[in-house]
Amino acid sequence: MKRLLIGSTMTALLCAGAVSANDSVLSDTSNVNQWAIQTGDYANTRYSKLNQINRHNVKRLQVAWTFSTGVLRGHEGSPLVIGDTMYVHTPFPNIVYALDLNNDGAIKWKYEPKQDPDVIPVMCCDTVNRGLAHADGTIFLHQADTTIVALDAASGDVKWTAVNGDPSIGETNTATVLPVKDKIIVGISGGEFGIQGHVTAYDIESGERLWRAFSQGPDDMLLFDENTTSLGKPVGENSSLDTWEGDQWKIGGGATWGWYSYDPDLNLFYYGSGNPSTWNPAQRPGDNRWSMTIFARDADTGVAKWVYQMTPHDEWDYDGINEMILTDQEIDGKMRPLLTHFDRNGLGYTLDRATGELLVAEKFDPVVNWTTGVDMDPDSETYGRPAVVAEYSTEQNGEDVNSTGICPAALGSKDQQPAAYSPRTELFYVPTNHVCMDYEPFRVSYTAGQPYVGATLAMYPAPDSHGGMGNFIAWDGKKGEIVWSLPEKFSVWSGALATAGDVVFYGTLEGHLKAVDARSGEELYKFKTPSGIIGNVMTYKHDGKQYVGILSGIGGWAGIGLAAGLTNPNDGLGAVGGYAALSNYTALGGQLTVFALPD
């Protein structure tokens, strides 16, 4: 369901004079030669204004140089480039390298944390890390064990550390952090271990904890107030507690391990919360607010201005943590600040990011079958709710039965792999999973620090389609429609990059870096890197030459079988069986590959 968005233009969200944002981040991201934040900019567009590499010459790309990380697990995220230095991270043990771009990538310094390896089995879906952040001359690393480390960007010396969670109860970290004003904002992983999800702000200079906002619980813990709304209506007192049975909210999940965006003009940051726990929906009756929710919070206070729960009482593990992409577009003749989100549940959403008004909710993979769509009537009692198809519910009359043929699978029509947006084409470029599942819940008891899942899954390619497990699509956010779609053998687990050269880059699980025409989707270039790609493509310019970089190293949820040596088809929460054929195409690795045009 949708409302028509008429016209579109990308407005500069990152004006250098904005007083509400971190000045160094604004300055760094406005320098087109750098890649200064994991998402490209505060708006999460993953767009670069560099155009030396374009759709006419990209076929001439060559490998310029490579760097081995020395770690053989899944490599998500991307390097940063600040000035003449590249900062590279690894999965656990979360090594950080500073590389000198003026000296053939020589290592300027290296930071290697000493973490307890006992954190590894507490990490749900591989030991990935989605990258570093930079602000005020400091590199920020959020380690797997939830230790936040502030490193001097020039020397690698530790400025301060802070502990954000407790791995003994299942709290770990896989995400980057968001520097905003005088704070860094961090999330937490552990929804499969029954944690209580939260976001936390720390002082950027000292590491002092300033505030914490939970995903569920009493409103004072959630940092809500009387002005907080959902779909234009006040959320009301005890907005979360009334939707949980007893104290289930205390172990209710709602982890916050995804991407964060920020609007300096509104001083709001945006993120999504994950699945409620357990995965057995019969054990947690109610809507389970505010899991599966888009949050807009004040960066100073943490108070929520608005929330929107996409999948109430989630029955399929459709985490809502994917990125929120901020654009300004014309709707009904009026420019409005928008937020676009491609959810695991298979629906692409557009909302007014100032008010939380829902404008578009459409399927971005046509095989999605668990819902017939979202009620878009503001006067309806079910406004904003998806209509669940009973056949694909995993809660069948209170009995634990194997529900089959559910699309998408638990890893969603898109997981955390971030999309890109080009203001030149006004299209979103979305890496997707074309995967379905069988889902059998079972009763599970909570024990701190032990898996709290309660379901067995089997995954497989969507039937009656191209037979592959992925597509790379161009999406029209005004119409809520697919413009073009490129089928892939496996899920596209790489973050996309759009450029002013009208080229879009992405990587494949087999290990190919691909470049396609931003307007037509025509494949223009591909190169096989040493291992499967789950990293995010980035670009920068040094000494007058544009470079494109990608981390390869198979792993993540889709590649957990290879990364962890698992063979039981039901392991990896069902992914091992679904992606068993990956071993025929790639092997473990950990390498940065950097490309450029020949001289």
Is residue 454 within 8 Å of residue 573, measured between CB atoms? Answer: no
Q: In degrees to the nearest 10, what's the CA dihedral of 196, 38, 323, 462?
A: -100
The C-alpha atoms of residue 570 and residue 572 are separated, in whole angstroms, by 7
Helix (H, G, I), strand (E, B) or coil at 108: strand
Give the residues across from 352 on adjacent strands. Answer: 338
Instruction: Take residue 74 and report the two structure tokens written for it.
Output: 């899944």
In order, the DSSP letters of 550-588 are EEE---TTTTHHHHHT---TTTGGGHHHHTGGGGGT---
167 prior amide bond cis, ω within 30: no
Strands 523-528 and 538-542: unpaired
Helix ranges (DSSP H) in 138-280? 219-222
The C-alpha atoms of residue 177 and residue 12 are separated, in whole angstroms, by 22
- Cβ neighbours of residue 125 under 8 Å, at least 6 residues apart? 556, 557, 560, 572, 573, 575
408 prior amide bond cis, ω within 30: yes
- Give the Cβ contact number of residue 385 at 10 Å: 18
Nearest to 453 by CA among 96, 167, 192, 260: 192
Instruction: Take residue 547 and report the two structure tokens written for it.
Output: 């470079």
Distance of CA 493 to the CA centre of its chain: 11
- 263 catalytic per annotation: no
- The catalytic position among 28, 263, 317, 319 is 317
| Catalytic positions, written as ranges | 317
